[in-house]
Chain A
Amino acid sequence: NAGVTQTPKFQVLKTGQSMTLQCAQDMNHNSMYWYRQDPGMGLRLIYYSASEGTTDKGEVPNGYNVSRLNKREFSLRLESAAPSQTSVYFCASSEVPIRSEQFFGPGTRLTVL
């Protein structure tokens, strides 16, 4: 089992460019999440998908969109990248019910110039 995979691992964008971060899980989990990690701020939830066909905003959704393509895949899109979106992005997944462990991918390090 690969667990949670993310592509790309590294990306450099110019301000205003767009890109999509890909995430896939092979654990048959219902719920998937996108976080960003910034120094001194821990991880903050951007968007999540409690189940296939649903998505909801997290703590810091502005400037991002998501698509739950199917049960396995959950993508994060930056339509017009800004330097404030320079961060490390983590995708995670979990089973339902509540209180279950979240499994994290290796992360994507994004720099916006």
Chain B
Amino acid sequence: GNSVTQMEGPVTLSEEAFLTINCTYTATGYPSLFWYVQYPGEGLQLLLKATKADDKGSNKGFEATYRKETTSFHLEKGSVQVSDSAVYFCALSETGGGNKLTFGTGTQLKVEL
């Protein structure tokens, strides 16, 4: 079946540092890939997505590129802020019916001054 593997956290960075959160996936078809963000006490929000190989999703300074050859969708940001502190989830959607999402376990990011 489908699965998503993320790097374990927490990841602690200083403000303005470069961020990479690794995500790899296993899927039988051609999934869409997503990064969701969860701020403390809230539900998940879509951060960015990519629907086919070599697509780059971007939003709020975050980027991720759909790499079919390495089955990866790593999240990057050039300069993090304290306000980026949250839990980040990588996810894929099946190509079959229902638009079901398979999530990774989440990576907590803490950004300090």
Interface residues of A, Cβ cutoff 8 Å to B: 4, 31, 33, 40-45, 48, 50, 56, 58, 90, 92, 94, 96-107
Contact = CB atoms under 8 A, between A and B. Distances in A.
A48 B101 CA distance: 11
Nearest to A95: B99
A99 B46 CA distance: 13
A-B complex: 3 closest residue pairs judged by Cβ atoms: A104-B43, A42-B103, A99-B32
B99 A100 contact: yes
B89 to A, nearest CB: 6
B48 to A, nearest CB: 10
Given A99-B93, A106-B43, A33 B100 contact: yes
Interface in B17-42: 32, 34, 36, 42
A41 B87 CA distance: 13
B89 A99 contact: no
A101 B59 CA distance: 14
15 contacts: A33-B100, A42-B89, A42-B104, A42-B105, A43-B101, A43-B103, A56-B98, A94-B99, A98-B93, A99-B51, A99-B93, A100-B99, A101-B34, A104-B44, A107-B42
B95 interface: yes
B98 A48 contact: yes
A48 B106 contact: no
Contact of A43 (B42, B89, B97): B89
B70 to A, nearest CB: 21
B110 interface: no
A96 B43 contact: no
A90 to B, nearest CB: 6
Contact of A41 (B45, B46, B49, B105): B105
